[in-house]
Amino acid sequence: MHIITIECLYDNYSYLILTEDGKAAVVDPSEAWPVIKTLSERNLSLRAIWCTHHHHDHIGGIADLLDEYGDVRVIGFAGARAAINALSEVYEDGQQFDWDGIAVAVMHLPGHTETGIAFSFAGHIFVGDTLFGAGCGRLFEGTPAQMDNSLQRIAALDEQTNIYFGHEYTMVNLRFAGQVEPANEAISHRLHEVAGLRDKGLLTTPTTVALELRTNPFLRVDQPAVIAFAAHRLGRQPRDRVEVFGAIREARNSFS
Ligand SMILES: [Zn+2]
């Protein structure tokens, strides 16, 4: 299995998943042309589209890809059927489907949207806009409690798991993380590394569970420094971890 990152739109990522014998699936095609270009350079045809959630910058390329390649499996969450018309194959949380002999698991991760999912197999997980490098998606449809729970499910995976996210927001997320936890050296170290990568035009995806556990404030809501940041925002002690989560998500919304 070979994974290729495709840059789309302004800061979106789509991902190609290629089998040994050249079958291609694409995760979250924002737009069709970069996907078609990458596939035609390799003389490959598209067999499947995996959809993490219904936002247009993740499904905008589907119609043109179906025009180009015809018979393509369009795979997503059962609950997203109404929002993504093109879905031809849907699954519930915990169900698996076969992708060329590999079992791909579907994980329902509400928070950014009500019906968002991740796809995982063999040490890789594609999370859409649920988790970003050192951050998480905005709560457009879900609650802080839902998003906290969804992120905890990702955090519970093997630490070496590669996490493929939907947008390049890592740099600004790390600057925010540094405000939340000024004494966290893992954050300042990663900020320095990511600045070097971005200066060279390189990408910060995928990340890993281990790296996020050390540097992502949304996975660290039980840390004293993060609780103190939330308390300062709230003007009182947070009642529980969900309030901590909500307070830092609010703070991130107005940070740029
Ligand atoms: Zn989204």
User: Do strands 131-132 and 23-27 pair parallel, antiparallel, or not at all (unpaired)?
Assistant: unpaired
Structure token pair of residue 190: 């990663």
Task: Identify the bridge partners of residue 107 per DSSP, sorted by sequence position.
Answer: 118
C-alpha 237 to ligand 1 mean position (Å): 31
158: CATH: 3.60.15.10
Ligand 1 centroid distance, CA of 109 (Å): 12
Ligand 1: centre distance to CA 11 (Å): 12
Residue-wise pLDDT tens digits, 50-109: 999 999 999 999 999 999 999 999 999 999 999 999 999 999 999 999 998 899 999 999
Distance 60 CA to ligand 1 centre (A): 12
**83: CA distance to ligand 1 center in Å?**
13
* Dist. CA 175–CA 128, nearest whole Å: 22
The backbone region for 101, taken as left when phi is positive above 0, alpha when psi lies in -120 to 50, beta otherwise, is: left
Query: What is the number of domains present in the chain?
Result: 1
In the three-class reduction of DSSP (H, G, I as helix; E, B as strand; rest coil), residue 72 is classed as coil
Question: Residues 180, 184, 188, CA angle at the centre, nearest 5°?
Answer: 95
CA 21 / ligand 1 centre spacing (Å): 32
Phi, psi torsion values for 34, nearest 5 degrees: -65, -30
Compute the distance from residue 253 Cα to the ligand 1 centre, in Å: 15
Q: Residue 137 C-alpha to ligand 1 middle, in angstroms?
A: 7
Residue 40 structural domain: 2-253
Question: How close is the Cα of 210 to the center of ligand 1, in Å?
Answer: 24
pTM value surpassing 0.95: yes
**Quick check: 69 and 45 in contact, CB under 8 A?**
yes
State the distance from the centre of ligand 1 to the C-alpha of 166, rounded, in angstroms: 8
Q: What is the pLDDT of residues 110-156, one digit of tens each?
A: 999 999 999 999 999 999 999 999 999 999 999 999 999 999 999 99
pLDDT tens readout for residues 181-235? 999 999 999 999 999 999 999 999 999 999 999 999 999 999 999 999 999 999 9
